[in-house]
Amino acid sequence: MPELMVNIDHVATIREARGTYFPDPVYAAGIAEMAGASGIIVHLREDRRHIKDRDLKILREVVKTKLNLEMAATDEMVRIATEVLPDMITLVPEKREELTTEGGLDVFSLKKRLKKVVEKVKVKGIKVSMFIDPHEKQVKASKDIGADMIEIHTGTYCDAKTEAEREEEFRKIEKAAKVGKELGLGVNAGHGLHYHNVRRIALIPEIDELSIGHSIIARAVFVGLDRAIRDMIELIKT
Ligand code: PXP
């Protein structure tokens, strides 16, 4: 059964809606760890629309489970990661105008450039994951450039409009997870997962970790963060 990594970006989104200092994502990290999360994820975006440099620095001191920094493969982010030293990073594509990360990173086409980023980060003892669409060539390319892990993008599966489409996407995710494990990669998955679609993905035996944010923070508005996290852990662990 996979571990739950909680993405707390949207605690900062609520804070930024008013440009104030609350709610503080640092508090969210503490509550998430006490509720049983195996790690904390934040995405420091180029435009700093939610998580700020200050959050990342304090989170590095506070988080005692595992801190996963989602980031674009830019010089600025590589500098920050190698200074702050999260336990792992996940390389994601990033477009300024997008609402959230849209699709996986095209590791296959960007092999040469991404390999250099992976080397610069790994030399500091940080593990590297690639957020990719569930395609065999992307899994293999991730292995080729020295990544430790992949995170399979589940967004298309979650957004599928028909059962046939959902089934096809599920098969792709299953296959990518198998290929990843066979190549010796850690296999994570995430994006768009919520309380009603997570179980089937959680049952894929090769998946080590699930990365879940929006649905947990959304439920927390009504039931509290502790309960929202415990509910999700119960779903993915039983
Ligand atoms: N994985 C990656 C790479 C992401 O960019 C995000 C969104 O920040 C997530 C997982 C979590 O997605 P969601 O907020 O839909 O659970």
Q: Ligand 1 within 6 A of 212 CB? A: yes
Task: Give the pLDDT score at 102.
Answer: 75
Distance between Cα 104 and ligand 1 center (Å): 11
- What does the block give as tokens for 128? 């590297």
> Is 191 a pocket residue for ligand 1 (Cβ < 6 Å)?
yes
**Closest listed residue to residue 130, CA positions, set 157, 155, 103, 156:** 103
> Cα(first)–Cα(last) distance of the chain, in Å?
8
**Host domain of residue 79:** 3-237
Name the domain count of the chain: 1
State residue 97's pLDDT score: 66
Measured from the CB, is residue 155 less than 6 Å from ligand 1?
A: no
Please identify, by atom number, the ligand 1 atom nearest to the C-alpha of residue 155: 15
Tell me the pairing of strands 209-212 and 186-190.
parallel
pLDDT at 96: 60
In this prediction, residue 221 carries a pLDDT of 98
Ligand 1: distance of its center to the CA of 51 in Å? 14
pLDDT per residue as tens, the chain (238 positions):
999 999 999 999 999 999 999 999 999 999 999 999 999 999 999 999 999 999 999 999 999 999 999 999 999 999 999 999 999 999 999 876 677 667 899 999 999 999 999 999 999 999 999 999 999 999 999 999 999 999 999 999 999 999 999 999 999 999 999 999 999 999 999 999 999 999 999 999 999 999 999 999 999 999 999 999 999 999 999 7
Q: How far is CA 209 from the centre of its chain?
A: 9
Find the 190 Cα to ligand 1 centroid distance in Å. Answer: 6
What number of CA atoms fall less than 13 Å from residue 117's CA on the CB side? 26
Vertex 199, ends 197 and 202: CA angle to 5°? Answer: 120
- Nearest residue by C-alpha to atom 11 in ligand 1: 191
Instruction: Please state the φ and ψ torsions of residue 154, each to the nearest 5 degrees.
Output: -100, 5
Q: Is the CB of 70 under 6 A from ligand 1?
A: yes
Q: What is the CATH number of the domain that holds 56?
A: 3.20.20.70
Q: Measured from the CB, is residue 194 less than 6 Å from ligand 1?
A: no
The per-residue pLDDT for 93 is 94
Q: Give burial (CB, 10 Å; 0-12/13-18/19+) of 99.
A: exposed
